């Protein structure tokens, strides 16, 4: 029998929804797509984003400081940790249920609270770029900027969102544990929300005020776990060049060199599609045979069967 293909899946915002009830519902659909891949004979590791959720947790924690003056502000790193646990809880429950519904009883599901080391001198700290929280109108955005000193930016034609620093992941602190669990056949959810950003201070890991892009963190995890495929599941079936323009063209199978050229030509929006294509390129060129796929959650299975999605390889 062929060796099982190891796949790292990066789940985007649409796989999780924007509110607690939405997430409960969304993870059921997401779990079906993931277990489909397991039934296809793949070994799956799950990573996910947390843009809306970390924004929600952050707002809730700000509200707490208004209610109780004893409560200091909650660092963004702690908000990421809370989002990992809350999303992991829903996801691991839904995955367990979907596996059992299909008679698969030998795959334990677990979420690993994951810290990811970043470089304190990363230029990203000087240039916040990662959108978090909900979409707002220009007027709402101006109000948030005024009231909380947030930096607000327009996000790919869809409205305004708060942006925070998004440094590149350097090291997954818990990678050894994640590898052990994956190697023993567990279905692991790790690097949620890109991982909790930390910097090293001697033996101490200090939380950083940032949100790492899950596209880059899942790429690093895929390399560290020697995965065969990195699948980035998002709200579009393919990446496009001339996106949203009359001459828009959806991309199918492309080479790393073609993808790099499109990046240079500015076809992918920073903070949304650009990090996906960059992560895909980084993974695909890291070792011959490695593939990266960008597609819709609902099309994950068609994607690994080569029927759709933007596939990037050397
Ligand atoms: P996720 O939560 O999955 O990370 P994002 O919103 O960050 O999703 O990124 C996906 C979005 O990127 C798409 O829904 C689309 O609106 C936007 N986008 C920007 N540029 C492109 C492009 N060139 N091709 C396809 N989608 C693009
Ligand atoms: Mg994103």
The alpha carbon of 241 and the centre of ligand 1 are apart by a number of angstroms equal to 12
Q: Which residue minimizes the CA distance to atom 6 of ligand 1? A: 272
User: For residue 156, how far is its CA from the centre of ligand 1 (angstroms)?
Assistant: 8
Q: Which residue has the tokens 């060129």?
A: 285
Give 49 Cα–ligand 2 centroid separation in angstroms. 7
Residue tagged active-site, from 214, 299, 301, 311 = 214
Is 307 tagged catalytic? no
* CA-closest residue to ligand 1 atom 14: 235
- Angle at which helices 175-183 and 214-224 pack, to 10 degrees? 60
- Neighbouring C-beta atoms of residue 134, cutoff 10 Å: 17
Reply yes or no on whether 311 is catalytic.
no
Choose one of 153, 159, 269 to mutate for the ligand 1 pocket test, by most ligand atoms within 8 angstroms of C-beta: 269
pLDDT at 2: 64
Predicted confidence at residue 3, as pLDDT, reads 79
Largest CA distance in the chain: 62
Structure letter (DSSP) for residue 3: P
Catalytic residue among 14, 18, 50, 58: 14
Q: Is 14 a catalytic residue?
A: yes
Catalytic residue flag (residue 58): no
Is 153 a known active-site residue?
Answer: no
Which ligand lies nearest the alpha carbon of 238? 1
CA distances from 16 to 182, 190, 250, 262 (A): 23, 15, 25, 29
Q: Which residues line ligand 1 at a C-beta cut-off of 6 Å?
A: 12-13, 49, 51, 156, 234-236, 239-240, 243, 267-269, 272-273
Question: Per-residue confidence of the chain (314 residues) as pLDDT tens digits?
Answer: 467 899 999 999 889 998 999 999 999 999 999 999 999 999 999 999 998 899 899 989 988 988 998 998 899 999 999 999 999 999 999 999 999 999 999 999 999 999 999 999 999 999 998 888 888 999 999 988 888 788 999 887 889 988 999 999 999 999 999 999 999 999 999 999 999 999 999 999 999 999 999 999 999 999 999 999 999 999 999 999 999 999 999 999 999 999 999 999 999 998 789 999 999 999 999 999 999 999 999 999 999 999 999 999 99
Dihedral of CA atoms 11, 12, 14, 15 in degrees, nearest 10, equals 10
**Distance of CA 71 from the midpoint of ligand 2 (Å):** 31
**Of 182, 177, 200, 214, which Cα lies nearest the Cα of 80?**
214
* Cβ pair 295, 253 in contact under 8 A: no
Model pTM score: 0.93
- Nearest ligand, measured from the Cα of 213: 2
- State in Å: Cα 12 to ligand 2 middle: 6
Q: Determine contact, residues 129/136, Cβ cutoff 8 Å.
A: no
**Ligand with smallest separation from the Cα of 14:** 1
């Amino acid at each position: 029998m062929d060796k099982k293909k190891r796949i790292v899946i990066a789940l985007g915002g649409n796989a999780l929804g924007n509110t607690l009830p939405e997430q409960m519902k969304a993870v059921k659909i997401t779990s079906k797509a993931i277990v489909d891949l397991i039934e296809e004979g793949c070994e799956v590791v799950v990573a996910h984003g947390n843009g809306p959720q970390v924004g929600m947790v952050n707002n809730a924690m700000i509200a707490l400081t208004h209610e109780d003056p004893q409560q200091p502000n909650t660092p963004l790193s702690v908000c990421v940790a809370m989002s990992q646990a809350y999303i992991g809880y829903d996801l691991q429950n839904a995955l367990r249920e979907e596996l059992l519904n299909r008679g698969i009883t030998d795959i334990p599901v677990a979420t690993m609270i994951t810290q990811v080391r970043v470089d304190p001198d990363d230029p990203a700290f000087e240039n916040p770029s990662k959108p978090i929280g909900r979409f707002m109108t220009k007027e709402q955005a101006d109000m948030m900027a005024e009231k909380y000193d947030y930096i607000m930016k327009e996000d790919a034609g869809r409205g305004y969102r708060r942006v925070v620093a998004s440094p590149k992941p350097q090291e997954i602190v818990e990678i050894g544990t994640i590898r052990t669990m994956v190697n023993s056949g567990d279905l692991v959810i790790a690097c949620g929300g890109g991982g909790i950003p930390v910097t090293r201070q001697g033996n101490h890991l200090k939380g950083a005020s940032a949100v790492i892009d899950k596209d880059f963190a899942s790429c690093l995890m895929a390399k560290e776990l020697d995965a065969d495929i990195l699948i980035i599941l998002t709200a579009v079936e393919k990446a496009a060049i001339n996106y949203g323009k009359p001459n828009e063209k959806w991309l199918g199978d492309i080479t790393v060199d073609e993808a790099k050229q499109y990046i240079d030509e500015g076809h992918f929006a920073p903070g949304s599609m650009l990090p996906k294509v960059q992560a895909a390129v980084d993974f695909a060129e890291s070792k011959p045979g490695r593939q990266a796929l960008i597609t819709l959650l609902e099309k994950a299975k068609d994607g690994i069967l080569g029927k759709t999605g933007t596939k990037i390889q050397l």
